[in-house]
């Protein structure tokens, strides 16, 4: 169990250390530094879970060659950090990305906490609550995601959220391995999974995976750890045929949450019964910016398996807005990728 406090550390050797407490004014301008590198919060699946997955026959996306970028492709990616990289091999340049972005409008509304239940955090306790009815909105639009990493042959699980009738938002590290520069394979999505019961079946035929060039061009310290500037761009999407999730409903996106914004952090943690959904309520603590991107720490309990899970709230109890995506943890901290005007514009372009 990771109980969050009020400080963050990322790569002491690369940046200056942060003060223990950060004021709201400081939080938007400080860079994050680390003594202990955060770890990705993916879950490795057991042999029994893998056997169950293989019954669904998850499919390849494109070809294996298109999923691992060669030297020429990596140069395009590094030269165009604002562009997009996809699992089917298409890489967008800056000019192409700008053209797509002109067609959408970013949501930069003030973050609201009206109608969101506050949570009293007591150090050392597990404040998570199981979602026993996963067939009500918005929980039916929270997804269990599983995939195979071709580098070690292992099967892993993350969490995601439906944001359009054919688009699932998750963490970029659940889609693309920056250490080996390749996409994950045989990915499938299970909306509203509830233990061994899949009320809406298994979507095992994604058409594409998309991450930013900014993510794909990062160099991870090692296969399991991440730096602050990586967390800030740790978002991507899984694409499906049009209309795949129309009946389930979708989350909306809201950029630029502030400190103390209340959030519901929901996902599929590895330390609970397999495939069960849990939530914890908490608040955003500190925020660190990296150019147009940002990350934050929060005090809601979370565990491995929740990577990519939505951090959301609801001003009116009917519309549910994602303000961040669960990304990483240390022994003391949980971190999320913040929704910014840039990331929301990108996500709208990818829908």
User: pLDDT of 42-64, one tens digit each?
Assistant: 667 666 766 676 666 666 665 54
User: pLDDT of 133-148, one tens digit each?
Assistant: 999 999 999 999 999 8
Give the predicted TM-score (pTM) of the model. Answer: 0.81
Say if residue 103 is exposed, middle or buried (CB neighbours under 10 Å; 0-12, 13-18, 19+). exposed
At 182, the pLDDT band (50, 70, 90 cuts) reads: confident
Pick from 183-187, 219-223, 253-257: least confident: 219-223
Return the higher-pLDDT residue of 333 and 8.
333
At 106, the pLDDT band (50, 70, 90 cuts) reads: low
At 348, the pLDDT band (50, 70, 90 cuts) reads: very high
Residues 6+ away with beta carbon under 8 Å from 208:
61, 62, 86, 87, 88, 238, 239
At 260, the pLDDT band (50, 70, 90 cuts) reads: very high
- What share of the chain in percent tops pLDDT 70? 75
- Give yes or no for residue 257 having a pLDDT over 50: yes
Question: How high is the pLDDT of residue 223?
Answer: 78
Structure token pair of residue 350: 């990818």
Mean pLDDT of 188-193: 96
Residues 6+ away with beta carbon under 8 Å from 286:
6, 7, 8, 22, 27, 30, 259, 296, 297
In the numeric block, the tokens 């890489």 are attached to 91
Pick from 11-25, 207-221, 290-304, 308-322: least confident: 11-25
User: Which residues are registered as beta bridge partners of 44?
Assistant: 156
> What are the φ and ψ backbone dihedral angles of 53, each rounded to 5 degrees?
-60, -45
How far is the C-alpha of 350 from the C-alpha of 337, rounded, in Å? 18
For residue 14, CA distances in Å to 60, 174, 222 come to 38, 26, 16
Closest CA relative to residue 3, chosen from 114, 128, 186: 128
User: pLDDT of 3-43, one tens digit each?
Assistant: 322 232 232 222 222 222 222 233 333 344 444 555 555 66
Question: Which string of b and e fits 271-308 if b means at least 16 CB within 10 Å?
Answer: ebebbbbbbbbbbbbbbbbbeebbbbbbbbbbbbbbbb
Write down the mean pLDDT value for the chain.
Answer: 80
At 94, the pLDDT band (50, 70, 90 cuts) reads: confident
How far is the C-alpha of 41 from the C-alpha of 219, rounded, in Å? 18
- Give yes or no for residue 232 having a pLDDT over 50: yes
What secondary structure does DSSP assign to 154-189, as a single string? Answer: -EEEEEEEEEETTEEEE-GGGTEETTTTEE-EEEEE
Q: Are 189 and 157 in contact (CB under 8 A)?
A: no
What is the number of other CB atoms lying within 10 angstroms of the CB of residue 26? 14
């Amino acid at each position: 169990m990771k109980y969050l406090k009020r400080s963050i550390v990322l790569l002491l050797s690369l940046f200056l250390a942060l003060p223990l407490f950060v004021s709201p004014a400081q939080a938007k301008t400080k860079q994050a530094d680390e003594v202990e590198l955060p770890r990705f919060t993916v879950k490795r699946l057991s042999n029994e879970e893998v056997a169950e997955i293989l019954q669904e026959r998850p499919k390849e996306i494109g070809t294996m060659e298109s999923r691992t970028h060669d030297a020429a492709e990596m140069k395009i990616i590094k030269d165009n950090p604002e562009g997009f990289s996809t699992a089917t091999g298409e890489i967008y340049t800056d000019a192409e990305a700008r053209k797509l972005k002109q067609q959408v409008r970013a949501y930069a509304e003030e973050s609201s906490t009206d109608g969101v239940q506050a949570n009293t955090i007591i150090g050392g306790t597990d404040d998570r609550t199981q979602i026993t009815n996963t067939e009500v909105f918005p929980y039916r639009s929270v997804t269990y995601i599983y995939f195979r990493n071709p580098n070690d042959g292992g099967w892993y699980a993350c969490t995601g959220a439906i944001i359009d009738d054919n688009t699932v938002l998750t963490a970029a590290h659940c889609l693309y391995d920056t250490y080996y520069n390749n996409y994950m394979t045989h990915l499938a999505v299970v909306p509203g999974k509830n233990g061994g019961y899949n009320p809406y079946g298994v979507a095992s035929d994604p058409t594409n995976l998309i991450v930013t060039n900014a993510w794909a061009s990062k160099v991870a310290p090692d296969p399991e750890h991440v730096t602050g500037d990586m967390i800030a761009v740790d978002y991507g999407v899984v694409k499906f045929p049009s209309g795949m999730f129309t009946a389930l409903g979708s989350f909306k996106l809201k950029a630029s949450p502030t400190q103390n914004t209340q959030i519901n952090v929901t996902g599929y943690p590895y330390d609970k019964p397999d495939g069960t959904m849990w939530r914890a309520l908490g608040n955003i603590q500190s925020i660190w910016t990296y150019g147009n991107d940002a990350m934050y720490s929060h005090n809601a309990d979370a565990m491995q398996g929740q990577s990519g899970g939505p951090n959301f709230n609801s001003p009116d109890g009917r519309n549910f807005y994602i303000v961040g995506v669960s990304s990483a943890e240390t022994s003391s901290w949980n971190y999320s990728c913040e929704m910014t005007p840039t990331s929301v514009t990108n996500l709208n372009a990818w829908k």
